[in-house]
Amino acid sequence: MYREANEEKSYREANEEKSYREANEEKSYREANEEKSNREANQDSSHSGAIGETALEYRPGPASAAADTDAITDTKPAQRRPSFRLKLNRRALIGAAVVAALIGGAAAGLHWWISGRYIVSTDDAYVRAHNTTLASKISGYVSSIPIEDNTPVRAGDVIATIDDGDYRLAADAAREKVATQEATVDRIGRQVIAQAANVDQTKAQLLSAQADAKKTQLEFERQQTLSAQKFASQQQFEQAEASRDQAAASVASAQAVIAAAAANLDVLKAQQKEAARTLDELQTALAKAERDLSFAVIRAPVDGVFSNRAVQTGDYVQTGQRVASLVPLRDVYIEANFKETQLERLVPGQPVTISIDALPEHAIKGTVASLAPASGAVFSLLPPDNATGNFTKIVQRLPVRIDVPESVTAQRLLRPGMSVVVSVDTKSSRLSEAGLISAAEAAPAGR
């Protein structure tokens, strides 16, 4: 329809130009005739003057009148020839315009039949990217922001620094506590070794006491036998008995010392374990302090373009406050919101022609990557509930992701938010491979 309107407009303009040209030609023709008539009139007047001087009077006869009449009547066909020529030119132009319109319509119809009817397009499409929001993980004053706005950065580059004085002191204090606790653990370990040696010493004393007790027991038994046979005095028997009892007491004392030494050893080992766990806690606190200190330097997590700065040098930032954004221009893609009535033949892998409003001279080819599992209304903050009240059916739209070749994204011409027009070629639709059948095929099976 738009092409036919242009052709009709061009046809009207051609007719107007032609009419204007014909009017100019007719005007020129009239002016030429008037000039010729004036010249002839001047010649007649000069001729009449000459005759008057000779005192002769000229009177046209019948033959002269007839000749003049024929001359007058001969000029009429000459005046009619331009209008006849204009009519012929107008008819030729009309015929040519009709033929051109028919050819254009046939070409448009052939193009639609071959490929146009398979094209599904929408202008509700935009360039998207997974933008990264940089935030502060600690609170403090911003010391510097060495990156300028809209500057490309690489992963690991410094984006901003925060005053780290307090965090450095906290890390040093935690480091000193760890060193002190390590010394404590070492001291307790040495005490454990000493106590273990003490336990071994008491065990040796117990063996000595047991040997002495055995000796006194044998002496007691010998004196007891001699005393019963009256070969030994009662004093010797009593002395042997006392020695036996004293040795037995020494054995019991040695055993008690061993138990006490072993218990002290267990206490030292428990203290050693407690000190080791305290050391682990202090090392964890040191790691946290060093980690907080490292957060004083904000680095880029991915490659992108630094933009949307939210703080300036000297500002005080809180934990979690946004600092800036990173836009990965090499990972952009297209998000097209197709109507649900357009999704019948859309499948991943189909070719897509992308037209960007900001770059009309660039033709980009993409590929359908995936279709969203639900419409945009389902993921909205307040999803619609059509179970109550009056109902008005509205065609829903589902996002379709379209991948862009790396050779295009590497040029960094596509910026998130740009408006685009996408056209998907569904001629190579693979719905049958996906296990889908048309309604015409499903009707006989239902019967």
pLDDT digits (tens, 9 = 90+) for 189-198: 998 888 888 8
> N- to C-terminal Cα distance for the chain?
43
What is the spatial distance between Cα 345 and Cα 425, in angstroms, rounded to a whole number? 9
67 and 16 in one domain?
A: yes
Res 158 pLDDT > 90: yes
Res 287 pLDDT > 90: yes
Of 134-138, 185-189, 229-233, 289-293, least confident by mean pLDDT is 229-233
CATH of the domain at 310: 2.40.50.100
Residue 82 — very low, low, confident or very high, per pLDDT cuts 50/70/90? Answer: low
Q: What is the structure's pLDDT at 61?
A: 43
For the residues of 116-152, what is the DSSP string, one character each? Answer: GGGEEEEEEEEEE---EEEE-SS-EEEEE--SPTTEE
374 and 227 in one domain?
A: no
Q: What does the mean pLDDT of the chain come to? A: 78
Q: What is the structure's pLDDT at 33?
A: 67
What is the spatial distance between Cα 247 and Cα 208, in angstroms, rounded to a whole number? 10
Residue 369 CB coordination number (10 Å)? 15
What is the spatial distance between Cα 386 and Cα 375, in angstroms, rounded to a whole number? 15
Q: What is the mean pLDDT of residues 206-210?
A: 76
Supply 157's token pair.
């580059």
Residue 42 — very low, low, confident or very high, per pLDDT cuts 50/70/90? Answer: low
141 and 98 in one domain?
A: no
Query: Looking at the DSSP assignment, which residues form a beta bridge with residue 352?
Result: 366, 424
What pTM did the predictor assign? Answer: 0.59
Q: Mapping DSSP to helix (H, G, I), strand (E, B) and coil, where does residue 68 land?
A: helix
Whether residue 407 contacts residue 332, with contact meaning beta carbons closer than 8 Å, is answered with no
For CA atoms 66, 69, 73, 75, give the dihedral sign.
positive
CATH of the domain at 352: 2.40.30.170
270 and 156 in one domain?
A: no
429 and 416 in one domain?
A: yes
Q: Mapping DSSP to helix (H, G, I), strand (E, B) and coil, where does residue 342 land?
A: helix
Task: Encode pLDDT of 61-77 as tens digits.
Answer: 444 444 344 444 444 44
Q: Mapping DSSP to helix (H, G, I), strand (E, B) and coil, where does residue 156 land?
A: coil
Q: What is the structure's pLDDT at 73?
A: 43
Res 256 pLDDT > 70: yes
Burial of 324 (0-12, 13-18, 19+ CB in 10 A): buried
Q: What angle, rounded to 10 degrees, do the helices at 165-228 and 234-294 form?
A: 170
245 and 156 in one domain?
A: no
Q: Which domain holds residue 140?
A: 132-163+297-325
- CA distances from residue 103 to 7, 92, 439 in whole angstroms, order as listed: 12, 16, 37
What is the spatial distance between Cα 291 and Cα 329, in angstroms, rounded to a whole number? 30
Residue type, 181: Q
Burial of 120 (0-12, 13-18, 19+ CB in 10 A): buried
341 and 310 in one domain?
A: no
290 and 182 in one domain?
A: yes
90 and 8 in one domain?
A: yes
143 and 92 in one domain?
A: no
Task: Encode pLDDT of 305-319 as tens digits.
Answer: 999 999 999 999 999
Q: What is the structure's pLDDT at 43?
A: 54
Q: How many domains does the chain have?
A: 4
| Beta strands across the sheet bearing 158-162 | 297-299, 158-162, 140-144, 316-317
Res 358 pLDDT > 80: yes
301 and 238 in one domain?
A: no
Residue 175 — very low, low, confident or very high, per pLDDT cuts 50/70/90? Answer: very high
254 and 206 in one domain?
A: yes
